[in-house]
């Protein structure tokens, strides 16, 4: 099989503080999870090699601070992204309600050539908590939101249990590659 030149894809992960952005990335890239919360300060990226069809791609995944006071880098690095991943916690209504803001703010700052078709992906994280008994946002409601934004793909995940993390990021890679 011939593998073409490696492609670098830039992905930005956004969402409220505590929804599990860093945990999802750690699980995906390092296969590690910790219960301990350490707020992300500023923004940093990790990379992961991925084969998609006959292409070798490098996902450059930018983890960002959900807490406003730690968003010290500003948002200049949103520019040039190939995909934006929005994360909320299925057990916290506010983290779902703020998705509109994250979505809007991203488009405003990244200023992509075609905002209407720019690829987003939504992850509903922490589905493991309390065996699903404390969830307050239904899958139906999440999918309705996705439909209202032009059919954003949706995945339910658990960074803790490593549930659906690989499939979600593979889809993120595919989507970013298609948009590249
Ligand atoms: P900021 O950096 O402040 O924006 O937060 P974040 O979105 O990066 O959240 P982080 O990954 O730090 O996770 C917050 C807390 O939730 C930590 O205590 C994690 O251990 C926990 N957590 C993350 N994902 C899951 C999950 O899927 N299930 C459970 N039960 N806990 C999780
Ligand atoms: Mg974080």
pLDDT score of 179: 81
User: How remote is the CA of residue 30 from the centroid of ligand 2, in Å?
Assistant: 15
pLDDT score of 163: 98
Given a cut of 70, the residues of the chain with pLDDT beneath it are 1-5, 72-73
Q: In the chain, what are the helix, strand and coil shares in percent, each to the nearest 5?
A: 35, 25, 40
User: How remote is the CA of residue 57 from the centroid of ligand 1, in Å?
Assistant: 27
Of 168, 142, 135, the C-alpha closest to 23 is: 168
What is the reported pTM? Answer: 0.96
Of 13, 42, 32, the C-alpha closest to 169 is: 13
158: which DSSP letter?
B
Which of 123, 134, 159 to mutate to test ligand 1, by most ligand atoms within 8 A of the CB atom?
Answer: 159
pLDDT score of 75: 78
Atom of ligand 1 nearest to the CA of 129: 30
Q: Is residue 131 within 8 Å of 165, Cβ to Cβ?
A: no
Which of 18, 62, 68, 163 to mutate to test ligand 1, by most ligand atoms within 8 A of the CB atom?
Answer: 18
pLDDT score of 1: 47
Cα angle for residues 161, 163, 164 (degrees, 5° grid): 160
What is residue 94's three-state secondary structure?
helix
pLDDT score of 4: 58
């Amino acid at each position: 099989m011939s593998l073409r030149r490696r492609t670098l894809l830039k992905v930005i992960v956004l969402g409220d503080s505590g929804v599990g952005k860093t945990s999802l990335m750690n699980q995906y890239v390092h296969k590690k999870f910790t219960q301990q919360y350490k707020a992300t300060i500023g923004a940093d990226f990790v990379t992961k090699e991925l084969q998609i069809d006959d292409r070798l791609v490098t996902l450059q995944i930018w983890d960002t601070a959900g807490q406003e006071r730690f968003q010290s880098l500003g948002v200049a690095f949103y520019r040039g992204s190939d995909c934006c991943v929005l994360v909320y916690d299925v057990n916290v209504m506010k983290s779902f309600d703020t998705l509109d803001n994250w979505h809007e703010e991203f488009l405003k700052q990244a200023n992509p050539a075609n905002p209407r078709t720019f690829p987003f992906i939504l992850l509903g994280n922490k589905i493991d908590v309390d065996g699903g008994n404390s969830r307050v946002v239904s899958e139906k409601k999440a999918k309705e939101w996705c439909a209202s934004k032009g059919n954003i793909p949706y995945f339910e995940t658990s960074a803790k249990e490593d549930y659906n993390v690989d499939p979600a990021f593979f889809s993120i890679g595919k989507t970013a590659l298609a948009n590249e």
